[in-house]
A and B are shown apart, each in its own frame.
Chain A
Amino acid sequence: MENISPLSQDQLSNLNQLIDTLQVDQLIWANAYLSGVIYRNKELVTPELSIPKENSSEKFTILYGTHTGHSKNIALDLYDQIKALGFVVNLSALDEYKKNDLKKEKNLFLIVSTHGEGEPPLQAEAFHKYLLRKRAPKLADTKYAVLALGDKSYKHFCKTGIDFDGAFENQGATRLLPLQKSDVAYEEIADQWISSIIEKLKKIKTKSSPSNGKIPNTTIRKKFSRSNPYYAEILEKTQITSTDSEKEIYHVEISLEDSGIQYEAGDSIGILPSNPVELVDLLINHFEDDPERIVRIGGKDLSLFRALQHKLEITVLNRELISAYNTFIKNETLTQLINNEEDLEKYLYGTDVKDLLEDYPGNIEMDQLLNILRVLYARLYSISSGPSANADEVHITVASVRYQNKDRDRNGACSTYLNDQINIGDYIPIYIEKNEAFRLPKTDKKTLIMVGAGTGVAPYRSFLQELEQKSEKVNSWLFFGNQHFKKDFLYQIEWQKFLQKGILAKMNVAFSRDQKEKEYVQHQLKENGKEVFQWLEKGAHFYICGDKQNMAKDVQNTLLEIIQTEGGITLEKSKEYLKDLKRKRRLLLDVY
């Protein structure tokens, strides 16, 4: 095996020898022990920072590559805190960073996310290519730390961050901190990562001469986040599909009164859900455990029932969990599954922790399971209200996830929590999830083509409300799709009004199940290809929101076809055209 660790071959083989002798519970203990060592003595295991001398031009540099704005937010936090200590610090997005400066960097902090099938965000693409090519610059004088954001439900978790971390090392740079990977619930980890850096800097600062005593006037932004959510009151909850619809979609209005929370059109809200009680019961019964037994999760004591309902992810599985689970049960079939990506992908779809326990029974205790379960993450919903029209509230559009698998009713953690358990007057934990990647055009004359299927139409309601409120000059075209015209035409009356008022210039709809041949938004798009292309040529921003697996792909492929046909160019040129739209942030996606 290639040694990509910071350990020498000897150290590594010693460690492996030790690991081979350890039982699982011993391993877990060792893991925790090492974490403790690291936490207490970070400076012992990490190199010293190069200290910028007074008046020297040497500085700290923070780089970020972001799609939705998370990495940027973390970078800003780090920037504020370093600056607050009186150091010189430079902050830059990766696509604005001068590559020639790289060789000169002494201390480099990089925060970067990973998308889809392990791809870097658009902003980081060029730099990623630059650093991973053969003739990348040598960085022998550079010390660095990478914070990688990702999502454990994807196969290539944090791949871009891993790439960068490895590339820096390959070029001779020295790690200040080990690569820190973070799941969607990144806040706590990001805060810890920043603290580790700041602690180091403080130490240096006390050693070196104090600064001129000026207190920097940067304020740490106090904000509600996943780890510190705002408890918001539900003001309205109405099913907006008809009673006979196969789809259960709710319009939910949530109060932001007095919270000071602000949002922009395009943002999402994160909601911390509660798991379905039925599933919690099933798990506790599986182990014949006591729901009131006190367990320790994330450093806090609470009942087993509450832990499973509110703290841990049990409605979905991920690769890491399955692998960790198999270290306990050591099941040959499961090992085979883990090694067969295609089958694993299939298995992951629509199964939960109870399935895992049943399908691959083995020797595992509840407490062991608790240790390997992923922390319950917030569900994100695109905001469907315009902030100017609804400053004190936020609206979302929620489709219930319900299905049957293996004769058991399955309920999505958040959608059914909202739709079944939460009523008007109740309070739910929320926070705003900024999405810089999905904004109204900043141009004077705004031309928009918006494509949304199902609840994917939500942010466009926000857009149009915003445009109406600001009486902006706008030329907008909405493509909407769902199953049935009569049953599932979400916000139908509201679009009709936007059309009457001219806020919306055109609207096309596709209802897949109203006729024998299924019709989707991309078919409507194609039918109007000529005009769509004209709009693009005139500078239109093109938005796609909704299902990632099928809809977003199909729409983009259709767009490629349209550009190729109407532009009279090759497929290659058409791909470039599309890529250019993305680069200019005129093709914007909010897909999930």
Chain B
Amino acid sequence: MSDNINWAELSEVERIKSESNYLHGRLKESLANRLTDAIAVDDRQISKFHGIYQQFDRDTERDRKRRRLEPDYSFLIRVRVPGGIVNADQWLQMNQISEEYANGTIKLTTRQAFQFHGVLKGNLKPSMKAINKALLDTIAACGDVNRNVMASPHPYSSSVFDQVQELAGKLSDHLTPRTPAYYEIWLDQKKVAHASTGEVEPLYGPVYLPRKFKIGFTIPPFNDIDVFTQDLGFIAIENNGKLEGFNVAIGGGMGTTFGEISTYPRLGNVIGFIQTDKVIDFAEKIVLLQKELGNRKERKNARLKYTIDQLGLENFKQLLINRLGYQPEPERAYTLVRNSDKFGWHLAKDKHWYLGLFIEGGRIKNQDNSLLKSALKEIANLHISDFRLTGNQNLVLGKIKEHDKTKINQILKNNGLLPQSISGARTNSIACVALNTCSLAFAEAERYLPSLMNKLEVSLSEFGLFRDEIVIRMTGCPNGCGRPYVAEIGFIGKGPGRYNLYLGGNFEGTRLNRLYRENMNEEEILESLTPLFQDYSEHRNNGESFGDFVIRKDYVAPILNPKDFKH
């Protein structure tokens, strides 16, 4: 940024960041104020950098106001897990925190993070300490910084899996903010600022990035982290069991705003191949470019995807090459087959067993006779597996020895989790949190999708499609947390009980979908999709996915240029 900054024309968040003294804000005072369960307005921005969102129960807001009570404020805490793998002890600790300080459930996010909801202000600090005790943290889980670094947790056919995971962790460390604020506020620790330069934030500086920044690693043939939706995506290139390097995709991003045509979802462009040892430097240079060039006036247009389109991809690439001091090699060949997860037992190349479990809405809880939370706790207590959060809100129990398989099966059975009879559509579904806590939501998602799925399943069964995998994603708003823009069937909330319906993403996650029907209630959704399911079951080609079918049959035209996307 230039030296002559005109704060007035910058977005409000830029002022708040600059005044925050490297993310201290007035959080300590906010936490000490016992007259409200909220924190100060500016601190609501700063807390995000610490992994904390202030929320309130939107269900009771109006009623409480009538009673002269403030909204039922609580907080979301997002725990970063670069690569998504934790051990059994860490799982147990998360389980404990959810019961002691949160609403008793754990949300597995679409970025391989843990999320606690309903944490009261007074419980924030104990929660943060407990998270730290589990050797996990929440810094930069949200905010205008590099977020949780994703990496595929599925090792089944890869020999380079561990290497990629390790690299994701290293890159995450490299891009983590260095401010001592986090340690001072939450952990009562003094942490010395960056020793070598004496600067507090050698990489980010005092105002951090213009907007969030997302990085993901995927190992073909899996695309379970949706590599093209990341600001910066790395596609591992493996040759005879050796990691050669990565194809690099830049400028992906999901978030849009209704009524703002300057906003659109965008898939990353693969700009070439780099060697493994260049990954960290490459990522740093991209982050620095975005820091300097990103739009700080209009947050809606601040992501890397807009910076790139503003400059033109070739121009941006040139700036990057100048900064790197070398030119990336030409893109290597790779094949992606799916952006969803694999379920059930699999033997991987490391001779260990892995069990993929579908977690509806990513919510770990006990419900009715299905005691998921208890079962996972029981399994963790045996210390016979690790726990892997996928990019699709699901869970993989990993590194399991052959003779331990039956124990796990037994526990799942005892807790009403096996045998599972779930449709192919449901197991490929994602729902964001939405109502009642997310302040952005226009409509339900996590609380509603299961019941909509029940109805869709009736129709799917009727046409013999119960086992067929179709990627369905629902979000309560167009900000895109559930990556609805690359689903084969996408639902985006417009208002209570009303959704836009998008079709035509593909099963691999390499194509954006397009608006098919607008502002529909449940009945209209079912009426629209039923004939499509029938047509699909009767006229699909062998192995043709639903997303490809609706394009071939001209239900929607493919989106070739992201700017053609419309709500």
Could you tell me which A residues sit within 8 Å of B by CB distance? 238-243, 251, 485-486, 489-496, 499, 507-509, 514
| B72 / chain A contacts, CB cutoff of 8 Å | 486
The answer to whether B68 touches A240 (Cβ under 8 A) is yes
Greatest chain A CB density within 10 A among B60, B64, B69, B122 is at: B69
Q: Does B194 contact A (CB under 8 A)?
A: no
The answer to whether B69 touches A492 (Cβ under 8 A) is yes
Closest-by-CB residue of A relative to B63 is: A243
B residues 64-117 in Cβ contact with A at 8 Å: 64-70, 72
Question: Closest CB of chain B to A228's CB: distance in Å?
Answer: 34
The answer to whether A493 touches B35 (Cβ under 8 A) is no
Q: Does B403 contact A (CB under 8 A)?
A: no
| B68 / chain A contacts, CB cutoff of 8 Å | 238, 240, 251, 490-494
| B70 / chain A contacts, CB cutoff of 8 Å | 489, 492-493, 496
Closest-by-CB residue of B relative to A478 is: B35
| A251 / chain B contacts, CB cutoff of 8 Å | 68
The answer to whether A239 touches B37 (Cβ under 8 A) is no
The answer to whether A493 touches B66 (Cβ under 8 A) is no
| B36 / chain A contacts, CB cutoff of 8 Å | 492, 496
Bound form: Cα–Cα A239–B69 in Å: 11
The answer to whether A493 touches B34 (Cβ under 8 A) is no
The answer to whether A507 touches B65 (Cβ under 8 A) is no
Bound form: Cα–Cα A514–B72 in Å: 15
| B122 / chain A contacts, CB cutoff of 8 Å | 514
Cross-chain pairs A/B with CB under 8 angstroms, 23 sampled? A238-B67, A238-B68, A239-B67, A240-B67, A240-B68, A240-B69, A241-B67, A243-B60, A243-B63, A251-B68, A485-B34, A486-B69, A486-B72, A489-B69, A490-B68, A491-B68, A492-B68, A493-B65, A493-B70, A496-B35, A499-B35, A509-B34, A514-B122
Indicate with 1 or 0, residue by residue over B387-408, a CB within 8 angstroms of chain A CB atoms. 0000000000000000000000
The answer to whether A493 touches B63 (Cβ under 8 A) is no
The answer to whether B37 touches A485 (Cβ under 8 A) is yes
Bound form: Cα–Cα A329–B435 in Å: 66
Known: A241-B67, A509-B34; 19 extra A-B contacts, CB below 8 A, are: A238-B67, A238-B68, A240-B68, A242-B67, A243-B63, A251-B68, A485-B37, A486-B37, A486-B72, A489-B70, A492-B68, A493-B65, A493-B69, A493-B70, A495-B35, A499-B35, A507-B35, A508-B34, A509-B35
Bound form: Cα–Cα A262–B388 in Å: 71
Closest-by-CB residue of B relative to A499 is: B35
Bound form: Cα–Cα A365–B66 in Å: 50
| A492 / chain B contacts, CB cutoff of 8 Å | 35-36, 68-70
Could you tell me which B residues sit within 8 Å of A by CB distance? 34-37, 60, 63-70, 72, 122
Question: Closest CB of chain A to B414's CB: distance in Å?
Answer: 34
| B60 / chain A contacts, CB cutoff of 8 Å | 242-243
Question: Closest CB of chain A to B219's CB: distance in Å?
Answer: 46
Question: Closest CB of chain A to B45's CB: distance in Å?
Answer: 20
| A493 / chain B contacts, CB cutoff of 8 Å | 65, 68-70
Closest-by-CB residue of A relative to B72 is: A486
Question: Closest CB of chain A to B376's CB: distance in Å?
Answer: 29
Bound form: Cα–Cα A377–B37 in Å: 42
| B67 / chain A contacts, CB cutoff of 8 Å | 238-242
Question: Closest CB of chain A to B534's CB: distance in Å?
Answer: 46
Closest-by-CB residue of A relative to B71 is: A493
Bound form: Cα–Cα A507–B36 in Å: 11
| A514 / chain B contacts, CB cutoff of 8 Å | 122
Bound form: Cα–Cα A309–B67 in Å: 31
Question: Closest CB of chain A to B298's CB: distance in Å?
Answer: 31
| B35 / chain A contacts, CB cutoff of 8 Å | 492, 495-496, 499, 507, 509
Bound form: Cα–Cα A499–B36 in Å: 12
| A490 / chain B contacts, CB cutoff of 8 Å | 68
| B69 / chain A contacts, CB cutoff of 8 Å | 240, 242, 486, 489, 492-493
Bound form: Cα–Cα A546–B34 in Å: 22
| B64 / chain A contacts, CB cutoff of 8 Å | 242
Question: Closest CB of chain A to B296's CB: distance in Å?
Answer: 31
Closest-by-CB residue of B relative to A510 is: B34
Bound form: Cα–Cα A508–B33 in Å: 9
Bound form: Cα–Cα A492–B37 in Å: 11
Bound form: Cα–Cα A496–B69 in Å: 10
Bound form: Cα–Cα A485–B63 in Å: 16
| A240 / chain B contacts, CB cutoff of 8 Å | 67-69
| A243 / chain B contacts, CB cutoff of 8 Å | 60, 63
Question: Closest CB of chain B to A496's CB: distance in Å?
Answer: 6
Closest-by-CB residue of B relative to A515 is: B122
Question: Closest CB of chain A to B504's CB: distance in Å?
Answer: 45
Closest-by-CB residue of A relative to B36 is: A496
Bound form: Cα–Cα A509–B122 in Å: 14
Question: Closest CB of chain A to B139's CB: distance in Å?
Answer: 28
Closest-by-CB residue of A relative to B34 is: A509
Question: Closest CB of chain B to A47's CB: distance in Å?
Answer: 60
Bound form: Cα–Cα A499–B72 in Å: 20
Bound form: Cα–Cα A241–B63 in Å: 11
Closest-by-CB residue of A relative to B35 is: A507
Question: Closest CB of chain A to B44's CB: distance in Å?
Answer: 16
Question: Closest CB of chain B to A13's CB: distance in Å?
Answer: 66
Closest-by-CB residue of B relative to A494 is: B68
| A489 / chain B contacts, CB cutoff of 8 Å | 69-70
Question: Closest CB of chain B to A362's CB: distance in Å?
Answer: 48
| A508 / chain B contacts, CB cutoff of 8 Å | 34
Closest-by-CB residue of B relative to A241 is: B67
Q: Which 4 A-B pairs have the closest CB atoms?
A: A240-B67, A493-B68, A492-B69, A491-B68
Question: Closest CB of chain A to B81's CB: distance in Å?
Answer: 31
Bound form: Cα–Cα A251–B66 in Å: 11
| A495 / chain B contacts, CB cutoff of 8 Å | 35
Closest-by-CB residue of A relative to B38 is: A496
Question: Closest CB of chain A to B32's CB: distance in Å?
Answer: 12
Bound form: Cα–Cα A315–B122 in Å: 42
| A241 / chain B contacts, CB cutoff of 8 Å | 67
| A509 / chain B contacts, CB cutoff of 8 Å | 34-35
Closest-by-CB residue of B relative to A240 is: B67
Closest-by-CB residue of A relative to B64 is: A242
Greatest chain B CB density within 10 A among A240, A492, A509, A514 is at: A492
| B63 / chain A contacts, CB cutoff of 8 Å | 243
Bound form: Cα–Cα A243–B35 in Å: 20
| B37 / chain A contacts, CB cutoff of 8 Å | 485-486
Closest-by-CB residue of A relative to B65 is: A493
Greatest chain B CB density within 10 A among A242, A494, A509 is at: A242
Closest-by-CB residue of B relative to A239 is: B67
Bound form: Cα–Cα A495–B70 in Å: 11
Greatest chain B CB density within 10 A among A240, A486, A490, A495 is at: A486
Question: Closest CB of chain A to B448's CB: distance in Å?
Answer: 23
Greatest chain A CB density within 10 A among B34, B36, B67, B122 is at: B67
| A491 / chain B contacts, CB cutoff of 8 Å | 68
Closest-by-CB residue of A relative to B73 is: A486
Greatest chain A CB density within 10 A among B37, B68, B70 is at: B68
Question: Closest CB of chain B to A296's CB: distance in Å?
Answer: 46
Closest-by-CB residue of B relative to A488 is: B69
| A496 / chain B contacts, CB cutoff of 8 Å | 35-36, 70
Bound form: Cα–Cα A90–B419 in Å: 96
Question: Closest CB of chain B to A490's CB: distance in Å?
Answer: 8
Question: Closest CB of chain A to B13's CB: distance in Å?
Answer: 23
Bound form: Cα–Cα A243–B59 in Å: 13
Bound form: Cα–Cα A509–B32 in Å: 12
Bound form: Cα–Cα A495–B64 in Å: 15
Bound form: Cα–Cα A240–B70 in Å: 11
Question: Closest CB of chain A to B37's CB: distance in Å?
Answer: 7
Bound form: Cα–Cα A243–B67 in Å: 10
Closest-by-CB residue of B relative to A509 is: B34
Bound form: Cα–Cα A491–B34 in Å: 15
Question: Closest CB of chain B to A241's CB: distance in Å?
Answer: 7
| A239 / chain B contacts, CB cutoff of 8 Å | 67
Question: Closest CB of chain A to B213's CB: distance in Å?
Answer: 36
Bound form: Cα–Cα A491–B69 in Å: 6
The answer to whether A238 touches B34 (Cβ under 8 A) is no
| A238 / chain B contacts, CB cutoff of 8 Å | 66-68
